[in-house]
């Protein structure tokens, strides 16, 4: 996510970035303020004045959003959670936490900090607009202040919806986590309410489109879709973390895997190993020494009618650093390795000795078990 984000500046030790998609929402907000909000609230001004006010208000809005994210980040840092940075994007802003909050109470305080900041900003701006009015400030400036006060309040209210990934959803998760002590179940419930909220937004958007407010409608559908996928990925991230926390490769590997000798032919490999043992690959071992592995990929390089005359030793893949892992590697690191290299099969090796194998299917099997445990039923 946000691999194309542009670095803007550092704020209180946090890197502030904008994703290219932010320019679209910035332009849309400026346009809607310049053509609707300001012409309605401040009649008889020039187009240029509307555009200038809209631009200032838009910057003020995203400035407020940055402060909201900064509040999350500062509290997160106090709890020892690392922050990758704050990124503005199409659907607002996000403080990217490197890892999940360690406890239910830290989750609660990190989550509430953002809306608290928005409420404080809203109140302060509302007070300032009142004072500005009292001392006779030009109405245009007061209108900008009123807009910012209102939008900060709306931001706080929207974020307090108890649905993941909104702050309210995190607060709900913290509450359930604290009550039941089960972070995965708590995430599941908060993510479900996120899913429900996402569908609700999409339904509202569809109604709006059908009633003719097409652009607003599409916007709701888009946000609904974003909420939906964020809720899903939040649960999956937590599932990964809960299922594999503190576990090493040794705990999940398949011990004593079927191995093959380089002397056997490909047809023997297919019939006596792949089909019989239902494996998609096998380590190649000669005289007790691991020399590599063979899989479907190597087979597909040889024509089928040559399988009886070709030996495993002719086509197997030699030991690859990336596909050889130690038994004490944390599963989290293995997952990162899979994400980074795209490799799906690994040989677990200690001191040149083959201890076992791990495959992606293997990992997914463990995840399903963990998932079934939270649901009380299988997929």
Query: Which residues in this chain contact Zn ion in the complex, by CB under 5 A?
Result: 114, 159, 167
The distance of closest approach from Cβ of residue 143 to Zn ion in the complex, given in angstroms and rounded to an integer, is 26
HSE value, Cβ hemisphere, 13 Å, CA-based, for 251 = 13
The distance of closest approach from Cβ of residue 127 to Zn ion in the complex, given in angstroms and rounded to an integer, is 23
Using a 10 angstrom Cβ sphere, with 0-12 exposed, 13-18 middle and 19 or more buried, the burial of residue 110 is buried
Give the nearest distance from C-beta 75 to Zn ion in angstroms: 11
Least distance in Å: CB of 169 to Zn ion? 10
Q: What tokens were used for 165?
A: 């990934």
Complex with Zn ion: residue 194 or 356, whichever CB lies closer: 194
Nearer to Zn ion, 66 or 349 (CB): 66
Contact 133, 125 (CB under 8 A): no
Distance CA 289, CA 306 (A): 27
Select 18 or 274, whichever has its Cβ closest to Zn ion.
18
Per the annotation, the verdict on 98 as an active-site residue is no
Which residue lies nearer to Zn ion by CB, 161 or 253? Answer: 161
The torsion angles phi and psi of 89, rounded to 5 degrees, stand at: -150, -175
Q: How many C-beta atoms surround the C-beta of residue 73 within 10 A?
A: 26
Whole-number Å distance between alpha carbons of 83 and 65? 17
Instruction: Identify the active-site residue in 15, 69, 321, 339.
Output: 69
CB 2, min distance to Zn ion, A: 16
Q: Which residue is nearest to Zn ion (CB)?
A: 114
Q: Helical H runs in 33-182?
A: 38-41, 47-78, 104-134, 139-159, 167-180
The smaller minimum CB distance to Zn ion, of residues 166 and 290, is found at 166
The span from the CA of 360 to the CA of 338, in Å, is: 8
Q: Which residues are catalytic?
A: 69
């Amino acid at each position: 996510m946000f691999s194309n984000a542009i670095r803007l500046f550092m704020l209180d030790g946090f890197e502030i970035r904008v994703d290219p998609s932010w320019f679209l929402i910035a332009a849309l907000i400026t346009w809607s303020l310049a053509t609707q909000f300001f012409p309605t609230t401040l009649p008889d001004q020039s187009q240029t004045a509307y555009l200038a006010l809209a631009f200032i208000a838009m910057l003020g809005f995203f400035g407020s959003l940055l402060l909201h994210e900064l509040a999350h980040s500062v509290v997160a840092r106090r709890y020892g959670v690392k922050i990758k940075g704050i990124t503005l994007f199409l659907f607002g802003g996000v403080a990217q936490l490197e890892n999940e909050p360690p406890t239910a109470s830290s989750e609660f305080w990190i989550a509430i900090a953002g809306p608290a900041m928005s409420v404080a900003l809203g109140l302060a701006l509302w007070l300032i607009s009142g004072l500005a009015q009292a001392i006779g400030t030009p109405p245009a400036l007061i209108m900008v202040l009123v807009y910012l006060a209102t939008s900060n309040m709306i931001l706080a209210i929207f974020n307090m919806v108890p649905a993941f990934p909104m702050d309210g959803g995190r607060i709900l998760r913290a509450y359930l986590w604290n009550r039941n002590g089960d972070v995965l179940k708590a995430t599941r419930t908060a993510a479900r309410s996120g899913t429900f909220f996402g569908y609700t937004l999409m339904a509202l958007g569809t109604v709006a489109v059908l009633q003719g407010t097409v652009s607003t409608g599409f916007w709701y559908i888009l946000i609904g879709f974003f909420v939906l996928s964020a809720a899903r990925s939040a649960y999956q991230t937590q599932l990964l973390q809960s299922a594999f926390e503190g576990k090493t490769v040794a705990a999940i590997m398949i011990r004593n895997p079927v191995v093959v000798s380089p002397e056997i032919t490909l047809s023997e490999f297919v019939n006596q190993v792949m089909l019989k043992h239902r494996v998609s690959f096998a380590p190649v071992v000669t005289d007790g020494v691991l020399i590599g592995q063979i899989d479907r990929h190597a087979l597909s390089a040889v024509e089928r009618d040559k399988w009886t005359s070709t030996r495993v030793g002719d086509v197997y893949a030699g030991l690859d650093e990336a596909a050889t892992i130690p038994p004490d590697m944390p599963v989290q690191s293995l997952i990162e390795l899979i994400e980074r290299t795209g490799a799906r099969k690994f040989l677990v090796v200690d001191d040149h000795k083959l201890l076992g194998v791990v495959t992606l299917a293997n990992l997914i099997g463990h995840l399903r078990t963990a998932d079934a445990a939270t649901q009380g039923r299988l997929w």
